[in-house]
């Protein structure tokens, strides 16, 4: 039977080396920095920009919602988190301020 399967013999070699904990700490630190600069920092920047956008909303701004609706702000409630958006002369909707994705340039609704 040894024709198909070769015999396995243990090798004698140097004793197993003990790995230092310093290399592990350095690797964890490098991964932490990569995580911070690649994931956390850009996301925090986007959140800050969206917060500034929401706080600067005012009556008459033309906005785009997360659902893709384009309209003009007709009423802003400062004490609540809702605004009223006019889609056309007949239809008004109430949306949460955080649902606003972008403020469009004036006259965008006329060109659509």
- Domain boundaries, given as residue ranges, for the chain: 21-56, 58-111
The number of beta carbons lying within 10 Å of the beta carbon of residue 101 is 15
CATH number belonging to domain 58-111: 2.30.30.100
In this structure, what token pair is assigned to residue 30? 């490098």
The continuous run of DSSP H or E covering 22 comes out as helix 21-35
CA-nearest of 111, 65, 56 to 86 is 65
Burial of 58 (0-12, 13-18, 19+ CB in 10 A): exposed
Cα–Cα distance for residue pair 96/65, rounded to 1 Å? 9
Of the two residues 65 and 109, the one the predictor is more confident about is: 65
In this structure, what token pair is assigned to residue 49? 């920009």
Q: Look at residue 13 in the predicted model and tell me its pLDDT.
A: 62
Cα–Cα distance for residue pair 73/93, rounded to 1 Å? 10
Q: Look at residue 18 in the predicted model and tell me its pLDDT.
A: 63
* Stated pTM of the model: 0.68
Q: What is the pLDDT of residues 12-43, one digit of tens each?
A: 766 555 666 888 899 999 999 999 999 999 99
For range 61-72, the mean pLDDT:
94
């Amino acid at each position: 039977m040894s024709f198909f399967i070769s015999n396995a013999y243990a090798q004698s070699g140097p004793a197993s080396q003990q790995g230092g904990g310093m290399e592990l700490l350095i690797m964890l630190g490098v991964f932490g920095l990569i995580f911070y600069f690649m994931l956390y920092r850009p996301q925090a920047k986007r959140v800050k920009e969206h917060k500034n956008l929401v706080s600067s909303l005012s009556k008459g701004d033309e906005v785009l919602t997360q659902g893709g609706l384009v309209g003009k702000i007709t009423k802003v409630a400062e004490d609540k988190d809702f605004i009223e958006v006019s889609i056309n002369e007949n239809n008004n909707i109430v949306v949460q301020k955080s649902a606003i994705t972008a403020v469009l340039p004036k006259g965008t609704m006329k060109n659509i």
